[in-house]
Structure 1
């Protein structure tokens, strides 16, 4: 059994439930202190969270292009922050690599565990690890 990390928002519809994080509570940093790259990343994450809250879900086209995470598990890295660790295939910067850690988890297909949205990108989820949550 997989124990999901705590999410700020839980949404359900016919296709299942998702969990979402509130970025303002997750990332408590003055916008003026962030790099332009990080501001763009956060803006894209906010847009995705808004779309997910409105009912949109990533389709096969998005998940087919997303890096695939295998043998993954949740790891809590701060009181409100969780990441995924596992083996990635097809990452745009890292390629194929074992033992990666994602950026903060901000969204998850909580019913089917087919996708996760981190601060940086979507991941298509393969089989989870047998390891417990850390």
Structure 2
């Protein structure tokens, strides 16, 4: 009975069963867009941390494989690079020498934590870099 007292435009809105559905769909779409954006940012940050870790492990292994170098120099160089690029105490590194097909190889392994925006995906990343050890002729 109240709809009879309303004007024609308001009466059409009051009788419409989908009145207000645009607001709800807009909110739901915005939540989805924000989640997709945060996922893309998290992927970009994770790829950055991975690339920095791979670079530091490779650089550290090359430093330790120089003539007269040792595992301590390799780990120190790797941690110095990681501390300058990712921040202090974000990663750990270890080095080992192994014999591959008759050649001595220095392997530096880096384990670092991934910064997470959402609680999705892995929390730790482990990468390694290898270099042939220089020998005196």
- Shorter chain as denominator, the TM-score bin is under 0.3
* Alignment TM-score, normalising by the size of structure 2: 0.21
* Alignment TM-score, normalising by the size of structure 1: 0.22
Structure with the largest fraction of helix:
2
Larger Rg: 2
Structure with the largest fraction of strand:
1
